[in-house]
Structure 1
Amino acid sequence: MDSYRGMNREALDRAYNNTAAVPDVAEVMADFGRRSAVIYGRNGIKRDLAYGEGANHRIDWIPGPHAGAPTIAYIHGGYWQSLSKEKFAHIAAGPLSHGFNVALIEYTLAPEARIGTIVSEIGRAIDFLATHLDEWRADPARLCLVGHSAGGHLAACHRSHPAVSLIMGISGLYDLEPIRLSYLNEKLDLTPAEVEVYSPERHASTGVRTLLTVGSAELPELRRQTADYASSLRARGELVEEVTTPGYNHFTILETIALRNGAAIEAVAQALS
């Protein structure tokens, strides 16, 4: 049986089971849902804009109050196989309070789509946004990808996209090998070749400035993934900054982007100023 950093399948399953590590996750998600409903009650939102032909090729556009503002494009997590943009619309409150626009990106989930397809879909979503930012009175030169968990991976895969000016990875997954060897692969069906191609840490290609954060109360493997990716980027001379977020777990870490004074949104705002 394959192992990873001395962990067998059982140990890896525990190491990446974020829900089991947070006893009150149901209450946290219910709170996110209530706050997301408030965001969707705002005027001027464009819902489910199609960036492709697939059922999940959809973007929600939430305009900020001013013309010429930066845009935060948010990619949700769920280990590439669960959840949806609607469950995380609450994160828009932080960027909106700074005057930013927000785009919530949806994508096809595994097992319906393989990892390469999912990565390509995010690229198409970015292309779609890039062609509409002028029309929507947004600054086309300031588009920041923010991704949480699996979304952090998907954001990192597009550091070199010409329309992207900044990346914020929140509790991201940058090496897919432990994912391939854990329970998460039952739906993903990752191959060793896919792990090599789609693990950002293994390439750390030239790209835009990258901000990374992970909660101090998260599982050790999640913290290691961020630290190792940051080291990999630095070793290649890339611009990377780790944002300290003490006390947060894998779900409450989203408060750092959803609240006006959250460490993640303040770091983004400073970088885009």
Structure 2
Amino acid sequence: MSDGIDRVWLDEQFSLDRIEDIEQVFARRAEAARFGRANFDYVSAVPYGPHAAHRLNIFPARNTSGPSPVQLFIHGGFWRSLDADLFSFLASGFVPFGATLVVIDYPLMPRARMVDVVGAAGLAVEWVAGNIARYGGDPDRIFISGNSAGGHLVAELLDRAGTGIRGGAALSGIFDLEPVSRSFQNDSLMLTPEEIADFSPAARALDITAPLIVAAGGMETEIFRQQTTDFAHQCGVEPLIVPGLDHITIVLDGLADPAADLNRAVRRQMGLLAD
């Protein structure tokens, strides 16, 4: 395959253009986020570090008599877009079932570099471990999840010693950065060879001991499904390919829906479901 064809194929793989009715999906996501902020108590833009983007939102658990397990979510957007507020809809899938939800922001590329993004995610976990008890959360039961770029950051956090994370869910993650660097996404990301080498979990030996869920939507592009499958096998777990879901709805209709198998798997990992 020539370089030209490679670029065309990779551009298609890392694009959302194949999602049907994408504008309606975005509108539904925005409305669900507004519902989450209107119907659940939350504390917004809590600083976890010195950078203006070191901020997180906390949705304290309901229906719990003691400290609650914590679900910390890291949004996607190819490390350069989106924000925590947009994912407030996740509260519906966790808060009523006894979990405290934390959704983080982080410095965005290309002004920030990958080391800054990964470092921010680690700093957020450290802050939650040291402070979440004030909001009813249990610092000894921190679980993390993320999609797309956030799925990548889940892998990076779980592979770094000392984070104290009890489990994770990497959804539609980008675990090998090299193909991204040959797509249109890199026109703005400007990934360096050093970043690709240092921050590609798929290209190094990993030390992940916490329970791990690795999932993608069955309607995602081939490269996302393949990277999910390959990374799951690398970590010694079975990939979860969810039929009917795409790169956006894997979070909106999978992770956030308490009736969905993916949400139930994550709550089971947290000890909130016995079956």
TM-score of the aligned structures, taking structure 1 as reference length: 0.92
Unmatched 5+ stretches in structure 1: 235-239
Q: Which of these residues, 14, 17, 21, is aligned with residue 16 of structure 1?
A: 14
Q: How far has the Cα of 1:30 moved from its partner?
A: 1.0
Aligned to 1:265: 263
Q: Which runs of 4+ in 1 moved over 4 A?
A: none
Q: Which of these residues, 41, 44, 65, is aligned with residue 47 of structure 1?
A: 44
Q: Root-mean-square deviation (CA), in Å? A: 1.8
3-state secondary structure, aligned to 1:135: helix
3-state secondary structure, aligned to 2:163: coil
Aligned partners of 1:85 and 1:79: how far apart in 2?
14
Contact 2:125-2:163 at 8 Å conserved across structures: no
Q: Kindly, what percent of the aligned residue pairs are identical? A: 30
Amino acid in structure 2 at the alignment position of 1:195 = I
Q: Residue 222 in 1 paired to residue 220 in 2?
A: no
Q: How far has the Cα of 1:7 moved from its partner?
A: 5.5
Aligned partners of 2:5 and 2:105: how far apart in 1?
33
3-state secondary structure, aligned to 1:158: helix
Contact 1:71-1:101 at 8 Å conserved across structures: yes
Contact 2:71-2:143 at 8 Å conserved across structures: yes
1:118-151 C-alpha deviation (Å, 9 max, x unpaired): 1111111111111012222212221111101110
Between the two proteins, the alignment pairs up a number of residues equal to 265
Q: Residue 212 in 1 paired to residue 214 in 2?
A: yes
- Distance change in 2, residues 1:260/1:109 (3 Å): same
Q: How far has the Cα of 1:197 moved from its partner?
A: 0.8
Contact 1:60-1:104 at 8 Å conserved across structures: yes
Contact 1:69-1:100 at 8 Å conserved across structures: yes
Aligned to 1:237: none
Q: Residue 256 in 1 paired to residue 258 in 2?
A: no
* Residue range with higher mean Cα deviation, 39-48 or 161-170: 39-48
Aligned partners of 2:170 and 2:262: how far apart in 1?
9
Aligned partners of 1:232 and 1:43: how far apart in 2?
38
Aligned to 2:171: 170
1:222-263 C-alpha deviation (Å, 9 max, x unpaired): 0000011112112xxxxx343341111111111111111122
Contact 1:243-1:263 at 8 Å conserved across structures: no
* Residue range with higher mean Cα deviation, 101-110 or 36-45: 36-45
Q: Residue 59 in 1 paired to residue 61 in 2?
A: no
Aligned partners of 1:266 and 1:251: how far apart in 2?
18
Aligned partners of 1:91 and 1:13: how far apart in 2?
29
- Distance change in 2, residues 1:111/1:162 (3 Å): closer
Aligned partners of 2:56 and 2:192: how far apart in 1?
29
Matches within 5 A, 1:79-90: 79-90=78-89
1:166-193 C-alpha deviation (Å, 9 max, x unpaired): 1101111100000111111112111122
Aligned partners of 1:233 and 1:269: how far apart in 2?
20
Contact 2:129-2:140 at 8 Å conserved across structures: no
Aligned partners of 2:19 and 2:201: how far apart in 1?
27
Unmatched 5+ stretches in structure 2: none
Amino acid in structure 2 at the alignment position of 1:155 = V
Q: Residue 32 in 1 paired to residue 38 in 2?
A: no
Aligned to 1:138: 137
Aligned partners of 1:249 and 1:95: how far apart in 2?
21
TM-score of the aligned structures, taking structure 2 as reference length: 0.91
